[in-house]
Amino acid sequence: MSTPLRACIAGAALTEFSRDSGRSAERLAIEVATAACLDAGVDPTVIDGIVPFPHGPTAEDLMAGLGLPDVRFSGVPHLGGASSVAGLRLAAMAVTAGQADYVLCFVARNGRSSSRVEQRVATLLPGQRYRRNLENPQGMNSPAQWYSLICRRHMHEFGTTRAHLAEVALTMRAHAQLNEHAQMYGRPMTMEQYMSGRPIADPYWLYDCCLETDGAGAVLITSADRAKDGPHRPVHLAGMAEGHADSADDIVNRRDIFNTGLTKAAPRAFGMAGVTPSDVDAAMIYDCFTFEVIQQLEEAGFCPRGGGGDLVADGGIALGGRLPVNPHGGLLSEGHIAGMNHVVEAVTQLRGDAGRRQVPDAEVVAVTGWGDMGDGALAVLTV
């Protein structure tokens, strides 16, 4: 049996999100780390553990830029977009084991103005041998192409439709209208506009694809004892797990193409937290593309496999619906900093600080991560 992890998020912060930050990703990292410590009521020099995202500024960039005297733990999760959620577990393990007192988990990047997605996947994805030799020569080189293969098969097997994908996109956009921090704040979208987007990798069209964003996010993780003295209500990391799909480096050669990392991780995370999906008040789902929301809702256990279309239809994932998803607007409409904004939104909701987009009485929030060739992670956060 695994040892229970006892750790809290004491501080959380985001920079502004934009198409061009006008400063380096390293500068964004230092700004957001400082802001997360301020939010926790501690000086940045208390940071003695760092979990960076696998692409972008490093632990060393923070050590040097913040003058951290003695960082004694660092670790980099390698689950692509699931790394932000998987990293929470690394940090909690370090804190629980007494290997670090304050671990900063962060993502900082100029994802729109500098390191765009096709550049990142050319170095970040596992199985580069297959990407470079078997896929790129055939014309395949983007996440929209890889992931839309799963979407098409899901449509065939379960009757999922473009109307379901639209429901996800429009819900995320509507939520962003309640979030002044969102890149799509003040830019509502109609079904007509959604349908008028150009095709990218059909069944993915323009508005099925997330934003590319300059910005940063960070959370500061420490023990419950230390967190209780902070200015905010501590958010408990109640359950966390990562999972890796069969055929982990190749997306189409798992016999069951829908059985991905999250399928394995979700029961472990819920089990550790002692809750079930039906206890969850709000879910932050890694919405790199619209269909990935539907698939992760299924694989995390919020509905049966094949039931994701029905769950998102008719406002099911909107604020006030059966399961509010991404009240901040998600990667599709708030901004894309690899899901660290989902973690920060979970904290905001659990503190009761989400203003117009607050989920009433939110006490249990699940956060998912999806990345690489089907890696997954899930964290259950509670107050």
Binding test (CB under 8 A) with another protein, winner from 201, 221, 266, 346:
201
Within 13 Å of residue 55, how many CA atoms lie on the same side as its CB?
23
Task: Please tell me the count of residues contacting another protein according to CB under 8 A.
Answer: 37
Does residue 153 touch another protein according to CB under 8 A? yes
Does residue 145 touch another protein according to CB under 8 A? yes
Q: How many CB atoms lie within 10 A of CB 111?
A: 28
Name the minimum Å distance from CB 254 to another protein.
Answer: 9
Does residue 204 touch another protein according to CB under 8 A? yes
Does residue 156 touch another protein according to CB under 8 A? yes
Cβ distance to another protein smaller for residue 133 or 278: 133
Name the minimum Å distance from CB 375 to another protein.
Answer: 18
Name the minimum Å distance from CB 32 to another protein.
Answer: 30
Stretch that binds another protein, among 144-152, 177-185, 219-227, 346-354 (CB under 8 A): 144-152
Rounded CA-CA distance 353/349 in Å is: 6
Residue 185 in contact with residue 198, Cβ under 8 Å? no
Does residue 136 touch another protein according to CB under 8 A? yes
The H-or-E segment that residue 10 falls in is strand 8-14
Q: How many CB atoms lie within 10 A of CB 216?
A: 32
Cβ distance to another protein smaller for residue 1 or 255: 255
Rounded CA-CA distance 315/167 in Å is: 8
User: Which residues 6+ apart lie within 8 Å of 189 measured at CB?
Assistant: 169, 170, 173, 207
Distance of CA 265 to the CA centre of its chain: 15
Within 13 Å of residue 229, how many CA atoms lie on the same side as its CB?
6
Residue 333 in contact with residue 173, Cβ under 8 Å? yes
Subset of 29-48 contacting another protein (CB under 8 A): none
Binding test (CB under 8 A) with another protein, winner from 4, 69, 199, 231:
199
Does residue 159 touch another protein according to CB under 8 A? no
Does residue 322 touch another protein according to CB under 8 A? no
Name the minimum Å distance from CB 30 to another protein.
Answer: 32
Lateral strand order in the sheet of 375-382? 73-74, 49-52, 103-110, 214-222, 8-14, 235-243, 375-382, 364-371, 282-284
Cβ distance to another protein smaller for residue 46 or 200: 200
For 112, which DSSP code? T
Rounded CA-CA distance 283/366 in Å is: 5
Binding test (CB under 8 A) with another protein, winner from 257, 265, 332, 365:
257
Q: Is the peptide bond before 54 cis (omega within 30 degrees of 0)?
A: no
Subset of 175-194 contacting another protein (CB under 8 A): none
Cβ distance to another protein smaller for residue 58 or 247: 247
Stretch that binds another protein, among 19-27, 151-159, 174-182, 274-282 (CB under 8 A): 151-159
And the tokens for 261? 């990392």
Cβ distance to another protein smaller for residue 121 or 364: 121
Place of tokens 């509010």: 324
Binding test (CB under 8 A) with another protein, winner from 64, 97, 134, 191:
134
Contacts with another protein, residue ranges (CB under 8 A): 118, 127, 129-130, 132-142, 144-145, 148-150, 152-153, 156, 198-204, 247, 249-250, 252-253, 255, 257
